[in-house]
Amino acid sequence: MDQPASRKIIHIDMDAFYASVEQRDNSALRNKPIAVGGSSQRGVVAAASYEARKFGVRSAMASTVAIRKCPDLIFVKPRFDVYKYVSNEIRTIFAEYTPLIEPLSLDEAYLDVTDNLKNIASATQIAEEIRAKIHEKTQLTASAGVSYNKFLAKLASDFRKPNGLYVIKPSQGLAFVETLTVGQFHGIGRVTAAKLNQLGIFTGLDLRQQSEAFLKKHFGKVGSYYYTIARAIDERPVMPDRLRKSIGSENTFDHDLSTEAELLAGLQPELDSVWRLCERMQVVGRTVTLKVKFADFEQITRSRTTFGPISQKSFLDRIGTDLLTALFPVPKGVRLLGVSLSNLEASDESSGQQLVLPF
């Protein structure tokens, strides 16, 4: 397989974004281990400062585990309105260089600067300028990866974190990939990495030695993706209008719920939240998914897809409630309930505008 005409892709990833914003805005938190999230028995770490990461504290870790790893850990409540504001400041900087910006979340994005607004030939120079401007405007640091496709650019941005820049040239891509463990590949999680290991595939070189037919046999359609990235090939374009796949809301309760009344009352705020998001983003969807996590952390989901879009809140409420009541009586206490809506499309009120991810 041949790599298509070389592009210039930058992946920008803010360093410990939420935690860094908190340390910036509160000097008492600087150079201290902090976690953004809830400190309660059922709290979860949303982000950890680098001082906390030295103790093994990570995002999505239960707060009780984080405290055991770092007894001096300081918990800070998240301020998502502030993070969104700062994120928009950063995107304004990106837009000085290219309209081809694909946000992945509030703190990271791809940029295609092959043909950029400043006619700068070097993508590395653009990445350096962007990092400098981000620091000047926000007093925060960003890491950047520069390469000829998205897969390599994202790998590169992790290579010099924090506050670093790494470049993978077209002549270096294949050699770079073959030395990685499969667990380091973006898009390959722990379960898939374990399955690959069971098949005797441990590194990028091992993966490249497999046929596409072999990988599709064991991993389905995604096997073709593994086949190409093992060869340092990724033809995915930077998509500034990437459609959001779903919207959702969930809540971990202070105590386990078990009665029908408690569970229905616990579900309603999540249904309300999802509908508010629909109205704000001017979208409708066709698939409602209920997520239930029990006291012992067992998790189940139940979904229902409608023939047409769900255009009224009462319809969403009814489907969500039906999915939950079908589980009654629940076999054990419930610690978390969540609702998501997928198969999204623009609502009539959006005047045909396409849904884009907020940055």
Binding site residue list for Mg(2+):
13, 107
Distance CA 261, CA 197 (A): 47
Q: From residue 37, give the alpha-carbon distance in Å to each of 239, 252, 277.
A: 31, 12, 22
H runs (alpha helix) in the chain: 17-25, 50-53, 63-69, 80-94, 123-138, 150-159, 173-178, 190-198, 204-208, 212-219, 222-229, 260-281, 313-325
**Contact assessment for residue 240 and residue 101, using Cβ atoms and an 8 Å cutoff:** yes
183 DSSP assignment: G
Pairing of strands 299-310, 283-294: antiparallel
Token readout for 332 is: 């054990």
Token readout for 355 is: 């849904």
Residues annotated within a binding site: 13, 107
With vertex at residue 116, the alpha carbon angle to CA 233 and CA 123, rounded to the nearest 5 degrees, is 55
Listed residue (259, 265, 331) closest to 295, CA to CA: 331
**Contact assessment for residue 62 and residue 44, using Cβ atoms and an 8 Å cutoff:** yes
Q: Which of 96, 108, 250, 349 is catalytic?
A: 108
**108 a catalytic residue:** yes
Helices (H) and strands (E) in the chain, counts: 13, 13
Within 13 Å of residue 169, how many CA atoms lie on the same side as its CB?
A: 3
**Looking at the chain, how many residues does it have?**
359
User: Which residue pairs from 171-178 have beta carbons closer than 8 angstroms and sit at least 24 positions apart in sequence?
Assistant: 173/3, 173/147, 173/148, 173/149, 173/232, 174/231, 174/232, 176/152, 176/232, 177/152, 177/204, 177/208, 177/229, 177/230, 177/231, 177/232, 178/203, 178/204, 178/205, 178/208, 178/230
Q: From residue 84, give the alpha-carbon distance in Å to each of 22, 87, 90, 95, 231.
A: 13, 5, 10, 16, 37
Q: Which residues are catalytic?
A: 108
